[in-house]
Structure 1
Amino acid sequence: MKTLRLLHRWAGGLIGLLLALLALTGTLLVHEDAYLRATVPHATDAQRQDTATLAATATRVFGAQDRPRSIVLASEDQGLNRLSYKAKERGAYTDQDGEIVLAWASKWARPELWLFDFHHYLFAGDVGKTIAGVSGLVGLGFVVTGLILWWPTRRMFHLRAWPRMMKRAAIVHHHRDLGVLVAPLLIIGLTTGAAMNLKWFSQALRAPFTAPAVMQEASALPKIKGGKLAKDLDWAKVIGAAQARYPGAEVRIITPPAKAGGLISIRLRQQAEWLPNGRTMAWFDPADGRMVATRDAQTLPLGSRITNADFPLHAAKIGGLPYRLVMTVSGLALTLLGTLAVVTFWGNPSGLPKRKKKAAAKSAKTTPLPAAGKTA
């Protein structure tokens, strides 16, 4: 138990602040839609999913000389379309008629963009993504070891949002009790976060349900070559065909071919899907708008469907306001746990009470050195 406690303390002291920052940025991102509704024009507009509106928007957006590489359509939670361009940091919000209301050339121009970049990539691309994923696994280790360390002290449990006093003993007591209280939520957040960032971890979790090779094959792109994108493409025909193929599904993302021979892809979300943008797909030949392939997310292997639940669980994209508030509490709790772990550790790395530290120091000073020529 002593070794476990030492490992828990040192790991918390070294990585606690990173977990706290990841938790805080994640908590803010849970409320991204609310922030956009409060700060960006047309974000409060009601969602429009009729074929005529979607086709007119696609015609206008993709017919522009400066054509974006994709458009994420307005949702029930906020009424803006989002455009992404080949230059990765460049983007724009449009109203649902395709009129640009806000554009940016750098992620630093929009708080929701750089917050996401830090939370998911630590501003370091794929390397940062891996570090963030490993941090999630370490966080899971904290939860497990914390539960083990708490068990002998379970009869001293007290429900407090804040330590009784800002002294080490009180902070440690609060840290254990708060950690136990939010442990189920931390397990959800840390597991889904690590799974989204670490492919091998995600595959290991889903392997009992579906072999990784089967999941990879099920998500493979169709091996069909498309023609050249027609200048006068009938977007109403394309979008209408996707809606007819999946009645009642939301059209979420429209992506023209990125290179010669590519296909137009339309991503949809059926009512049973948790993922905000869905995983149901329809592909079209860009030359004539003919549907050439589809993929129903509800028929994917079980492991793939479980994987598709990671993001909505992690980012509170299901359950409405109640679940957003629950995950907000979880995120703020982890922020507090990580911050106070760092404060208490670096304030006293040895973990010894002050009186024992003084006694140890005094003993070291008064212990006589062995006489010359003799061994201790």
Structure 2
Amino acid sequence: MGTLRLLHRWAGGLIGLFLAVLGLSGALLVHKDDFLRATLPHAADPQVQDTAAVAAAVERIFSAPDRPRSIVLASERLGLHRLNYAQGEASAYADQSGRIVTRWSSKWERPEVWLFDLHHHLLAGDVGKTAAGIMAVVGLGFVVTGVILWWPARRLFALRPWPANLTRNGVVRQHRDLGVVTAPLLFVSMLTGVMMTLPAVEDVLLAPFSRPSVMAAAQKPPTAKGGPLSPNIDYGALIATARAKHPDAELRIISLPAKPGGLISLRVRQQAEWLPNGRTMFWFDPADGRLVASRDALAQPLGVRIANAEYPIHAAKVGGLAYRLVMTASGLTLALLGSLAVWTFWAGPKTQKRKRPRRAPAAA
């Protein structure tokens, strides 16, 4: 037990601050849509899913001289389209008629964008993403070892949102008891984070449900080549094709080919899908709008369907306000536990040993 306690303490002292950053940024990102609704015009507009209206907005956006590479369509909680351009970090928000509301060329110009990059990539691209995943693995170890270390002292349990005092003993007791209460939430947050950032770990965890080779094959895009992008593409017809197959599906993302020979993709979300942008796909030839291939997310192998649930669980995209508040509490708890662990390890006051009173000398 002493060795386990030492490992738990040293690991917390070394990476606790990074976990605190992940926890705090995650708690803030849960409320990203609320922030945008409060700060941008038309962000609180009701979602429009009428085929003609969406097609008109898409046509207006893609016919602009600086057309974007893709459009993430407005959702139930955010009444703006997100436009992503091929040049660097350039993006924009547009209202549901296709008019630009605001645009930016660097992530530093939008707080929700750099905060997302901080949480998912630690501002370091793919290397940061892998590092965040490794830290989440260590975080899972903290949850498990923390519960083990709590058990012998369970009779002293006292739930406190803040330590009774900032001595090492006070912080450790609060850390131990708050950690065990939030352990299930932290475990879910860490596990889904690991699965999203470390594909090899995800394959191992999902192997009992579907073989990795089967999952990889099921998610491959079509191999067919498309012609050059026609200026006369009827986006309404593309949307109508998808709607004919899935009448109740929510239109989510439409993307133009990234390179010659690529296809136009249309992504929709069926009502039974948890993923906010869905994984039900349609691919069209950009030369004439002909349907080339489609994929039903609900018919995918079980392992793929479980993988598609990782992000909505991690980011509180299901469960409404109640679950968003629960995951907010999880992120804030991680931020508190991680930051106090680092502070007490490196700079906090030491535990004061109680001095025994000296006995008076015996009378002669």
TM-score by length of 1: 0.93
User: What secondary structure does 2:353 align onto?
Assistant: helix
- Tell me, in whole angstroms, the C-alpha distance in 2 between the residues paired with 1:5 and 1:190: 21
How far apart are the structure 1 equivalents of 2:93 and 2:73? 10
8 Å contact 2:167–2:348 — kept in the other structure?
no
Residue of structure 2 in register with 1:181 after alignment: 181
> How far apart are residue 232 of structure 1 and its match?
1.2
| 3-state SS of 2:294 partner | strand
1:206-245 equivalence runs, <5 A: 206-245=206-245
The 1-side partners of 2:88 and 2:254 are apart by: 17
Contact 2:167–2:351 at 8 Å: present in 1 too? Answer: no
Per-residue deviation at 1:347? 3.0
Instruction: Show the counterpart of 2:353.
Output: 355
CA distance in 2, matches of 1:259, 1:336: 46
Corresponding residue SS for 1:164: coil
Q: 3-state SS of the aligned residue for 1:71?
A: strand
Matched residue type, 1:157: F
Structure 1 residue 66, shift from structure 2 partner: 0.8
C-alpha distance in structure 1 between counterparts of 2:71 and 2:172, whole Å: 49
Q: State the alpha-carbon separation in 2 of the partners of residues 19 and 146 from structure 1.
A: 15
Q: Which amino acid aligns with 2:82?
A: R
- Aligned residue number for residue 161 of structure 2: 161
Structure 2 gap ranges (5+): 357-364
**Amino acid in the other structure paired with 1:338:** G
2:28 equivalent in structure 1: 28
- Aligned residues of 2:264 and 2:283 also touching (Cα < 8 A): yes
Please tell me the residue identity of whatever aligns with 2:312.
Answer: P
RMSD of aligned alpha carbons: 1.4
Counterpart amino acid of 2:91? G
> Would you say the 8 A contact 2:298–2:305 is kept in 1?
yes
Shift of 1:258: 1.5
Describe the SS at the equivalent of 2:217.
helix
- 1:84-99 matches, within 5 Å, as 84-99=84-99
Alignment of 1:1-376 (within 5 A): 1-347=1-347, 353-355=351-353
CA separation in 2, counterparts of 1:11 and 1:291?
A: 53
* Amino acid in structure 1 at the alignment position of 2:187: I
- 1:348 CA displacement: 6.0
Structure 2 SS opposite 1:98: coil
Measured in 1, the distance between the counterparts of 2:69 and 2:151 equals 54
Separation in 1 of the partners of 2:328 and 2:259? 41
CA-to-aligned-CA distance 1:333-366 (integer Å, 9 cap, x gap) = 11100011011111369xx74439x99xxxxxxx
CA distance in 1: counterparts of 2:150 and 2:208, whole angstroms: 31
Partner SS for 1:208: coil
| Counterpart-to-counterpart distance in 2, 1:88 and 1:295 | 30
Q: Could you say what secondary structure the match of 1:355 adopts?
A: coil
User: Structure 1: which amino acid aligns with 2:67?
Assistant: R
Instruction: Tell me the alpha carbon deviations over residues 188-210 of structure 1, each in whole angstroms, 9 at most, x when there is no partner.
Output: 00011111111111111101111
Structure 1 residue ranges without an equivalent (≥5): 360-376
The separation in 2 between residues aligned to 1:233 and 1:347, in whole angstroms, is 64
Runs of 4+ in 1 over 3 A off after TM superposition: 352-356
* Number of equivalenced pairs: 356
